Structure 1
Amino acid sequence: MMLFSAEGLGLHYSGRPEPAFQDVTLDIREGEDLRLTGPSGAGKTSLMRVIAGLEHPTSGQISTSPKSVGMAFAEPRLLPQLTVMDNLLFVAPNAGNALQKMLEMLMIDDLRDSKVTGLSKGQAQRVALIRCLSVRPQIVLLDEALGGLDHATWLIARDLITSQRQENAFALVEISHDPARLIAPDARTIGIQQSRLC
């Protein structure tokens, strides 16, 4: 099933001389693995934000969009006034049992009632990953989202993502500058150079 389809997309932020990206044609299908590569500033994160519906392209056409998207960034972007569990329930209010199981799998269930302002970067990234997965997404977008994890914890996070895909065959789109840290190392690779696909 096609989840995202777009032709000739471009995004130009107001006040910037060059577009974030341009002339991007892209299809994403159910269960597909995709990796975005390119130097810093090439437009990878901006393209992810368009896929997620957080930005509207300034040119081109999107013909198919996913109903639900989960996205996690290098910066966890949790709500600082809330506890760990309240951050998760904010996006998945009826998923308490599933959230508890994911907290346990990622070994942070003892932090469920802690304010997120007291978390380490790795702990916060694990909470953000659970939040990303908790919305039963059709597409999961990971933008350097697990870079703060040590290798052993990264393996557990990878196993969580894999187990969730067995229940919900979402497409996975990754940005990672470390090929050894890709959840799907055999993913279809799309390079972006000078704001264009290459």
Structure 2
Amino acid sequence: MALEIEIARKAFRLADRGERIVFDRFSLSVAEGSIVALLGPSGCGKSSLLRIIAGLDTDFSGVVTNRPARVGMAFQEPRLLPWRSVADNLRLAAPGLTDEALAALLAAFELEGRGGDYPGQLSLGLARRAALARAFAVEPELMLLDEPFASLDRALHLRLRALLAQRIGAKKITALIATHDLDDALLLADEIIFLEPAPARIRGRLPIPAPRGSRDENLTKLRASAAIYQVNDAPGNGNSEGAT
């Protein structure tokens, strides 16, 4: 069944006792097994939307229906427990993880030999890979990815993008990816949702029917199709969104 998100209202309280409205009569339907990319300017609510879908933010008026039982999430920051090893961080998310499955997961994210390391011993790139591995450790039915390639060098960015496409696609996982990178959205998603500044509105929806394996050669045409939906500070500027 499709994942259904209905947000009547979501606002953040400000220091001056005012408020900033992030969502006002917002709705979104995500087909089961599809990969959807969320693009929009900083502060438009992409991260907030993922947290609401995950059930981490309940301070809103509305409802999320048909959310699967197993949800994996990778945040903008790795958020690994610093007093636990990489292997323990993965096992805390997935207590039933076997030694063989753990080794395979570490290998898939180029973390061989790092299972015993603590987060403080990892570079940001390694920590981000560990966080992605943790998200997959739960064998999710729904994957939520918030700027998954932020702060990675280009070579690693490309390798992880290909890995995510393969792993999500092979398991038919429903996935939502918040990103500023238009190429990531075009190469990974079945559909791109373009969001306007808060309070968030859907500016447009761009289906991408082309098989993922053939999109690199058609990237120029795909970018042209997306151009009409882009707004200032939208995809491809390399910025990182804040808390919302």
Percent of pairs with identical residues: 34
Q: How well do the aligned residues superpose, as a CA RMSD in angstroms? A: 2.0
TM (norm. structure 1) is: 0.89
Q: Secondary structure at the match of 2:120?
A: helix
The residue aligned with 1:38 is 40
Q: Give the count of matched residue pairs.
A: 197
1:196 alignment partner, SS class: coil
- Cα displacement string for residues 134-167 of structure 1 (whole angstroms, at most 9, x for unaligned residues): 1111221111122222232223323332332355
Which amino acid in the other structure matches residue 131 of structure 2? A
Contact 2:82/2:120 (8 A) holds in 1: yes
Q: What TM-score does the superposition give when structure 2 sets the normalisation length?
A: 0.73
Out of 124, 129, 133, the residue aligned to residue 126 of structure 1 is 129
Code of the aligned partner of 1:189: I
Q: Is the 8 A contact 1:106 1:153 kept in 2?
A: no
> Is 2:149 the counterpart of 1:146?
yes
CA distance in 2: counterparts of 1:178 and 1:151, whole angstroms: 12
Greater Cα offset, 101-110 or 58-67 = 58-67
Structure 1 gaps of 5+ residues are none
Q: Secondary structure at the match of 1:86?
A: helix
**Cross-structure match for 2:120:** 117
Cα deviation, 1:78-135, whole Å, max 9, x if unaligned, reads 0000011010011112223222112112221111101111111000000000001111
Q: Which runs of 5+ in 2 are unaligned?
A: 203-244
Partner of 2:113: helix, strand, or coil? helix
State the AA in 2 paired with 1:47: L
Could you say which residue in structure 2 is the equivalent of 1:88?
90
- Structure 1's consecutive aligned runs of 4 or more residues displaced over 4 angstroms after TM superposition are none
Partners of 2:172 and 2:138 lie apart in 1 by 13
Matched, 1:54 2:56: yes
Could you tell me which of 171, 175, 189 is aligned with 2:193? Answer: 189
Aligned mates of 1:195, 1:89 — CA distance in 2: 38
Q: Any conservation in 2 of the 1:8–1:25 contact (CA below 8 Å)? A: yes
1:72 corresponds in structure 2 to 74
